[in-house]
């Protein structure tokens, strides 16, 4: 089998965050090899149009809305998730732990290294 066939990671994407005339633009390209220019031109066209509308204002200066407080995480002992059946994940980030596998619970603070 070739490298291409054995790869199980999802395809990568590229996200670009930018500002145009005070409007924030978030461009996500599913295919990193795709040409970003048509996307950018479409964003600029949309913003130019919005910019011509009355009462439309960029939120450039506005603070981000406050995030609602999160519910406290349950203690590991009270967690409804069966930690033994959690999917095994692999560290993708560059660093000392790259390639190690672990289980982590999304509902509580449970975390366990496998390798």
Q: Considering the complex, state which of residue 27 and residue 86 has its C-beta at the smaller distance from Zn ion.
A: 86
79 is an interface residue for Zn ion by CB under 5 A: yes
| Burial of 20: CB neighbours in 10 Å, binned 0-12, 13-18, 19+ | middle
Which of 25, 27, 81, 104 is in the footprint of Zn ion by CB under 5 A? 81
> Segment contacting Zn ion (CB under 5 A): 20-28, 37-45, 52-60, 81-89?
81-89
Cα dist from 5 to 1, 13, 32, 34, whole Å: 6, 19, 19, 22
Number of residues near Zn ion (by CB under 5 A) = 6
Position among 25, 29, 91, 108 found at the interface with Zn ion (CB under 5 A): 108
Which is it for strands 89-90 and 111-113: parallel, antiparallel or unpaired? Answer: unpaired
């Amino acid at each position: 089998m070739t490298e291409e066939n054995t790869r199980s990671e999802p395809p990568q994407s590229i996200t670009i965050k930018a500002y145009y005339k005070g409007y924030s633009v978030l461009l996500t390209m599913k295919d990193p090899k795709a040409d970003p220019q048509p996307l950018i031109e479409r964003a600029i066209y949309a913003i130019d149009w919005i910019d011509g509308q009355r009462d439309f204002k960029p939120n450039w200066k506005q603070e981000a809305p406050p995030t609602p407080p999160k519910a406290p995480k349950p203690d590991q002992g009270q967690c409804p998730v069966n930690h033994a059946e959690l999917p095994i994940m692999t560290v993708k980030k560059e660093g000392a732990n790259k390639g190690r596998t672990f289980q982590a619970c999304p509902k509580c603070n449970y975390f366990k290294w496998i390798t």
